Amino acid sequence: MIPITAHDALLVIDVQNDFLPGGALVVPRGDAVIPVINHLTRLPFGQQAASQDWHPHGHASFASTHGPHAPHGTWPDHCVAGTHGAELAPALDQTRVGMVIRKGRALDIDSYSAFLDNDRTTRTGLEFWLRGLGVTRVFITGLALDYCVAFTAIDAKTLGFETFVVEDACRGIAPDPAATWQALERHGIVRVRSADLAGTA
């Protein structure tokens, strides 16, 4: 059991309509993370933050931006700022979320991580918010395990936070998550399940 304390933060990555069934960039069974995350929000985390993928029209990560020869690593148009698809899932309990970080807002740079854009220099501010509030450990949940969750976890660890990824509170785009877990474990990130986390008595 891992007792959750005031120095712990829950991070909810990109639980947005476009990544759920019926959305523009579906993460298979992505909706299954919502009840697990809602349960975790009731544990005594000192802070809780959520991220939103938040792209302008014509974003560099959209295949449609590049005409008929879209480069590798582009996606269907998704999470366009201000649209229904970009909203956090209505079933997600946001009552204890104190900070929402919007990332991928620059036209030419994508941002998988909730800490740093893919140029690896532009910061979102999440690091300073967490650190300023005395957070030392982060527990990461959400979508997609193999993209935004993994990038966020690796950055969190690299920035000096003790980093945990909550397995049953994440889903990936690729059917087999084994390579992602190997990469995370190689970085010293701890894989836990929601049942491993406990309120302090």
Q: Which residues are designated catalytic? A: 14, 103, 148
Q: Which stretch binds ligand VGL (CB under 6 A): 88-96, 114-122, 142-150, 180-188?
A: 142-150
* CA diameter of the chain: 58
**Amino acid identity, position 185:** E
User: In Å, how far are 9, 69, 71, 133 from 136, measured between CA atoms?
Assistant: 8, 44, 38, 9
| Residues binding ligand VGL: number (CB under 6 A) | 8
Residue 161 and residue 126 in contact, taking contact as beta carbons nearer than 8 Å? no
Q: Does residue 146 belong to the site contacting Zn ion (CB under 5 A)?
A: no
Going residue by residue from 1 to 40, which x/- string records binding to ligand VGL, judged by CB under 6 A? -------------x--------------------------
Q: Does residue 14 belong to the site contacting Zn ion (CB under 5 A)?
A: no
Q: Does residue 115 belong to the site contacting ligand VGL (CB under 6 A)?
A: no
112 burial class (0-12, 13-18, 19+ CB within 10 angstroms)? buried
Q: Exactly one of 4, 49, 140, 148 binds ligand VGL (CB under 6 A); which one?
A: 148
Provide the 10 A C-beta neighbour count for residue 10.
Answer: 24
Q: Exactly one of 45, 147, 161, 181 binds ligand VGL (CB under 6 A); which one?
A: 147
